[in-house]
Amino acid sequence: MQLYNNLSAKERADLIAQAGEDRLTISFYAYAKIGNPELFRNHMFLAWNELDVLGRIYVAHEGINAQLSVPADHFEAFKAHLDSISFLENVRLNIAIEHDNFAFLKLKVKVRDKIVADGLNDDTFDVRNIGVHVDAEKFNALIEDENTVLVDMRNHYESEIGHFKNAVTPDVDTFRESLDIIEADLKDHKEDKNLVMYCTGGIRCEKASAYYKHKGFKNVFQLDGGIINYVRQINEKGLENKFIGKNFVFDQRRSERISDHVIAQCHQCGNPADLHTNCANEACHLLFIQCDACKEKMENCCSTTCMEVIQLPYEEQKELRKGQGNSNDIFKKGRTDHLPYKKDLRNIFDVLEK
C-alpha cells in the first residue's frame, strides 16, 4: 500500500497545470472519538489519494481537522466517502470563496495529540457543552448589542490583516495563549455580557466555547462555520458585511479578500499592505507582510542579511543550513526586531471605534 506521496511539490504542480482542471479548496473539522487514529489516518490517505485529493489533515483521538484541495470533478465521490463515515456524514464543508488550483501540492495526513494545539486537559471539563452556534444574520445582530463582547480567537498575524468591526483581537502568537488572557480580561463580565467568538472555520471556537462555559461564562456564542461560512452567507442572503480586510488562510493563497479595506502595513516600509510572504532565505522562512515595492527591492527577503544569503550558490546555502534549526524568529510571525513596522503590542481592549 502506498501511504506516502511519490511526487514532489514541483512535479505535482506541473501535473495540475497540465491537467487544466478546476480544483476546490475545502476545509472541515469534526470532534469525535477515534479509537485508532493511525489506522484511521491510513484509511483516509488511501481513499483520498485515489481521488487526487491534496491537503493538510490532522487526526487525533478527539477527531479530525482538514484543509484540502479537491478536483471539482471528484467532489461528489469525495463527499460520498465522507458520508460513508458515521461521524462525517453531512459534515459542514467550508468551501473557499477564492479558489487556487495550487493551494496544496501534497497530501499530508498526520496523527497528532490534538487536532488544534489548545494546551487544555479535556478530562477536566465537558468538551461537548459548547456555546450557541449562530448564523451570519444572528451574528450581525448580536455584535451590535451593547451587551456583547466580540472576541477574535485567531492569532495576531491573522487579525492584523482583517477582522470584524469592534472585535477584541488578542495580541497572541498561539491559540492556547489567548484562552487564559481572554478569561482574565473578561472575568468581571461572565454573567452580564454576551461572549461572542469567531475564528477562520469554527474549530477553535468549538473548544473555546466549552472551556469558557466551564469557567463560568453564562452567555456564550460562536459564529457557525467561522469567517469562511459567514462570507458565503452574506453573499447568498445579501446581508451587510461587517468584516473588514482579508481573511488569513493556511494554504498557498495565504488570504482571501473580504472587503476592499487594507488595514495592515508593510513591515518594512510602513505603506498600506496586507499580503503575507515567506522570506526567500530558506534558513529563515519568516512570515511577514511585504508590499510589492519592498518585495522587488528586498528580493522577497525580510532583511539585507537574508538577501546576501540567497545570492550564494545553492549548495553553499545548504552547507550554511546544515545542522542549524530554525531561529525562534520564525515563530514570531512578523514581529522580529529587524522589521521596523511590525505590529505593535496592544491591550486586548484596543478595538476599532464604532
Do 81 and 155 belong to one domain?
no
pLDDT band at 19 (very low <50, low <70, confident <90, very high): confident
Residue 216 included in any domain: yes
Q: Which residues neighbour 58 within 8 Å (Cβ) at sequence distance 6 or greater?
A: 64, 65, 66, 110, 111, 112, 115, 116
Place of cell 534558513: 283
Q: What is the pLDDT of residue 283?
A: 86
Domain-located, residue 353: no
* Separation between Cα atoms, residue 315 and residue 282, nearest integer Å: 12
Judge if 151 and 229 occupy the same domain.
Answer: yes
The string of pLDDT tens digits covering residues 313-345 is 988 888 877 766 555 555 567 778 889 987 764
Question: What single-letter DSSP state applies at residue 280?
Answer: S
Residue 48 lies in a domain: yes
Q: Among 119-123, 172-176, 188-192, 347-351, which stretch is predicted with the lowest mean pLDDT?
A: 347-351
Structural domain including 182 reads 122-237
307 has pLDDT over 60: yes
Predicted local distance difference test score (pLDDT) of residue 173: 86
Catalytic positions, please? 199
What pLDDT was estimated at residue 212?
Answer: 95
Domain count, the chain: 3
Domain of 71, CATH number, reads 3.30.70.100
Residue 247 counted as domain residue: no
Q: Which helix (H) or strand (E) holds 76?
A: helix 75-83
